[in-house]
Amino acid sequence: MTTAPRVRECARILLERGGLRPRVHLVLGSGLGGLSARVRDPVEVAFGDLPGFPATSVEGHAGRFLIGRIADTAVLVQSGRFHLYEGVGADTVAAPVRVGRALGARTLVLTNAAGGIRSDLVPGSVMLVDDCLNLMFRSVLAGPVTGDESRFPDMSRPCDPALMALAEAAALEAGTLLPRGIYAAVGGPHFESPAEIRALRAAGADAVGMSTVPEVTVARAGGQRVLAFSLITNRASGLGLGSLDHEEVMRYGDEAGATLGALLEALVPALPR
Ligand code: HPA
């Protein structure tokens, strides 16, 4: 058993070190850590400095927060996240979102690496998450209600339509294609079999990954607005040429991460504070 992170205490440490209250919390997925170079006057706090935060065990997930500014907007940028497949508790997976909210972030922007199922979602493309399919067979909220979160949060619009429109405007301006799609979250850590991908396609999934849905759920339970982007790093199992491995996911994260980075840099100042 891991000790559950102490959310208030973690928020206090981040506020004390960072000296500002972030309005936007950005979570960077596998291979997307390069985006942290876009934060002005960053103060770094490693996960290991926060009570109850275990070190992340996944290569490509740095495990740290940066507090600083993108343009004039105060941001909390999180490199690395906790996944249920690491064997940590739901409280640990949820903790970074709760810490961001305790600090004052009203908007949560999530990014992830995902496999493309729909035919246009080829490696290197970016998808704006329109809706989620939770195929992790559990809710991150199971257990006692935390703080002022809702017991039965509404998930009829997991991602905020007005913020999605802002993201689409920023993409249009930058000349970046940003198709909408449905993100399916599976438990992992193994990649899917081709039969599972066919089942996911039939269920309406456009892309598949192993994160994000728990964070969206926690954010919605706490009344935060959410935006989420999938960086397509590979064709899903059975749809591409060869087998899948984490190195491939990381390589595309590095390459196409730059496109998503530029998009986020343009978008953040347009988000409501
Ligand atoms: N499946 C699940 N998770 C992923 C994939 C995938 O194909 N690519 C990146 N993360």
Banded model confidence at residue 59, pLDDT cuts 50, 70, 90: low
Pairing between strand 126-135 and 180-186? parallel
pLDDT in tens, 126-167: 999 999 999 999 999 999 999 999 999 999 999 999 999 999
- For the whole model, what pTM was predicted? 0.95
Q: How far apart are CA 211 and CA 237, in angstroms?
A: 17
pLDDT at 246: 76
CA dihedral 21, 27, 28, 34 (to 10 degrees): -10
In angstroms, the CA 53 to CA 159 distance is 27
For the segment 234-259, the average pLDDT, to the nearest whole number, is 80
Q: Is 211 marked active-site?
A: yes
Give the per-residue pLDDT at 45. 96
- Ligand 1 site: residues with CB under 6 angstroms? 113-115, 191-192, 208-210, 233-234, 236, 244, 249
Given a cut of 80, is residue 256 above it in pLDDT? no
Number of H helices, E strands in the chain: 6, 9
Q: Which residues pair with 229 in a beta bridge?
A: 111, 128
183 belongs to the catalytic site: no
Closest residue CA from atom 7 of ligand 1: 115
Q: One of 171, 210, 228, 266 is an active-site residue; which one?
A: 210
Q: Which of 2, 251, 260 is nearest to 126 (CA)?
A: 260
Share of the chain above pLDDT 70, in %: 95
Q: What are phi and psi of 145, to 5 degrees?
A: -70, 135
Instruction: Determine the atom of ligand 1 nearest the C-alpha atom of 209.
Output: 3
Q: What angle do CA 232, 27, 25 make, to 5 degrees?
A: 140
User: Token pair of 53, please?
Assistant: 């935060």
Ligand 1 atom closest to the Cα of residue 116 is 7
pLDDT for 58: 66
Centre of ligand 1 from the C-alpha of residue 54, in Å? 23
**pLDDT reported for residue 2:** 54
**Range list of H helices, 182-271:** 194-202, 213-221, 246-267
Q: Which residue among 83, 149, 170, 228 is the active-site one?
A: 83
Hey, how many other C-beta atoms are within 10 angstroms of the C-beta on 204? 12
- CB contact at 8 A, 14 and 45: yes
Of residues 102, 105, 113, 256, which has the active-site annotation? Answer: 113
The mean per-residue pLDDT over the stretch 37-60 comes to: 86
